A and B are shown apart, each in its own frame.
Chain A
């Protein structure tokens, strides 16, 4: 531990802590712009300067490591004068006209820093030279006039997201933030994750969806969990007057450290689907408004008449976007209460691949891995935040091995890119295991594997060696690797390598634990009950249900499936519901209500409870205990 003094206050911090972080811990605020807790120190804006006894010049506290016996002053006249000068230069470097900016009035860190120094004006003229505004991106605008070149966005794009789209060009007064080869953002390799927008200290990055809709002080922030996929990122839902303003990543969240992808941040605000707000019953060929009692009675009556019948009974499908409570009731009601043989979730088969060796791997392992083996999953397209953890580690020398027979954007980034013939992943994994063990007569040799999978024998040998030599290797397997789960488990066990099973939707882990893991097929059933929630139904679902005589849908939005339904029961969307989500690590997280649902809409659990009551089925038992998690990571 290091002991030193800041403004006369004794501070004790671990070795390697910067003076700025130490001051934060001691409750002393030093203004800063380029520094951010999630990024490595940079020392670019010079605003965090402090005076240190024994050092003649002022020091940037964000890059200065605390040393024993150091005496630091953060608020001497010399520091304040220099800070005001730095702010003056920053303001006059470009055109900061606060009254036109959507960030001013509390959200802008530059303006707040100036107010903190009691500045009412700056003595130098602004630049007046107009800088370009890049409005080519669908989700945000980059106004270079308001940029202070702190490079937070550049560092976030590289260090956090691993996408390396943003950088700076030229030098000195000509320096500009650029994307790729200085192309418009909308044409660049940007993946629309919006991390740059969230991390920008000024109004340079303008969010198209939420600009001018309310400052941080005017919106309500509700901490919750993203239901876009099984990663389960922590989010902050910003709402105002019961309207969704913005979704931000929660910097404190243990899973994602504040990162979000397009699915979590922008899809909810772009959503233009039509909402259903009253129960609907099909009469004379068209859906007509009905009361909850009419609709529920009709469904209950139909289900009752088919209870206990096997293959010509009830087909029931639940979305993995529903909270664990609702999935549990769904399983109780349909699989146990009504004896349906086809009660499953939308992830079906994918959900089963989640757990290898009965233990869920932790995403934390990706952050320290020196070798990542990705099987059957495109982390650039799905589970993107897990992909960020992989992509950002590559420049540090982390080896990436991609095994996927299909299209996978990770192939381009991989050190070893293996494309086995379709349905031979299983053989390939067995081959790698054999190669790493030397001669094992029970396993096929490398030459045979090579012949069967179409992957070159030298590559198999090399990959086996890389895995064997790695200090902290991690397996990441998706739906495409489900067939190889057994071989993978062997390989993982023999090298003690953690396996991160990705699963599918937000609650696919819980769905698998509740046994809702069959592939959904309709084969002669007389009724179908679809608990879709706010999910987008699969393309062919309506087609599959075409011959089912009675279809009841529990959904929030109009879709091809509700169009063919006989009864529609309107339910809450993700931001309105309260419940729990179990992410791919088996971490149980709470989703909180940020918006009040429209009148006439019920929660997913309420609907299932009301049905159970009418059917005389008791929904008891504890959803959490039934998950069968040995340790609950809250």
Chain B
């Protein structure tokens, strides 16, 4: 388990001076605020894109909270990710309405087109696919959420076109 910077693997955000500066800035700003864990994790997720095991160890040490507790919080909220994401995150709603309207078929199609499994990222780092719970747009089921945009009544045959648009960006 990487607890010190010397043991952090290559390509970790902590080894990139620019990203390390952002991480330190976030930690410095919140270090003396009680209950700042969520705020820090939120900012790290938004600005770095993911929270690697080395980053978790670093944050736990700086905020003086147990490593296991930090991991518990991270894994509890699906918003946080521990592996790098692609430039775009495609989420398939698996709420009841979308499930019935064919979300599993959409996921199957997406996995075929992109050649990756759910939760994985394409080799060109363009797209990550995930499932999610109800996004509150049941009337348009099945719903696909790409970054912050919502696409309703998506049919499997329309999916390649939609994904290609984002893959090129």
Contacts and interface: CB of A to CB of B under 8 A. Distances in A.
A6 B160 CA distance: 66
Contacts of A169: 71-72, 75-76
A230 B67 CA distance: 31
A183 B57 CA distance: 13
Contact of B76 (A158, A164, A171, A187): A171
A178 interface: yes
Interface in B55-72: 56-57, 66-69, 71-72
Interface string B28-49: 0000000000000000000000
Interface residues of A, number: 17
Nearest to B69: A167
A164 B69 contact: yes
A91 B18 CA distance: 51
A167 B66 CA distance: 9
B68 A178 contact: yes
B75 A164 contact: no
A165 B75 contact: no
Contacts of A187: 1
Contacts of A170: 75-76
A179 B76 contact: no
A183 B76 contact: no
Contacts of B68: 164-167, 178-181
B53 interface: yes
A189 interface: yes
A458 interface: no
A180 B71 contact: yes
Interface string A170-190: 110000001111110001010
A180 B70 CA distance: 9
Contacts of B56: 181
B72 A168 contact: yes
A464 B127 CA distance: 57
Nearest to A170: B75
Nearest to B53: A181
Given A165-B66, A178-B68, A180-B71, 12 more contacts: A158-B66, A164-B69, A166-B68, A167-B72, A169-B72, A169-B75, A169-B76, A178-B72, A179-B68, A182-B71, A183-B1, A187-B1
Instruction: Give the 9 A-B residue pairs with the shortest CB-CB distance, closest first.
Output: A164-B66, A167-B68, A169-B75, A167-B72, A170-B75, A180-B67, A181-B71, A171-B76, A180-B68
13 contacts: A158-B66, A164-B68, A165-B66, A165-B68, A167-B66, A169-B75, A169-B76, A179-B68, A180-B67, A180-B71, A181-B56, A181-B67, A187-B1
Interface of B: 1, 53, 56-57, 66-69, 71-72, 75-76
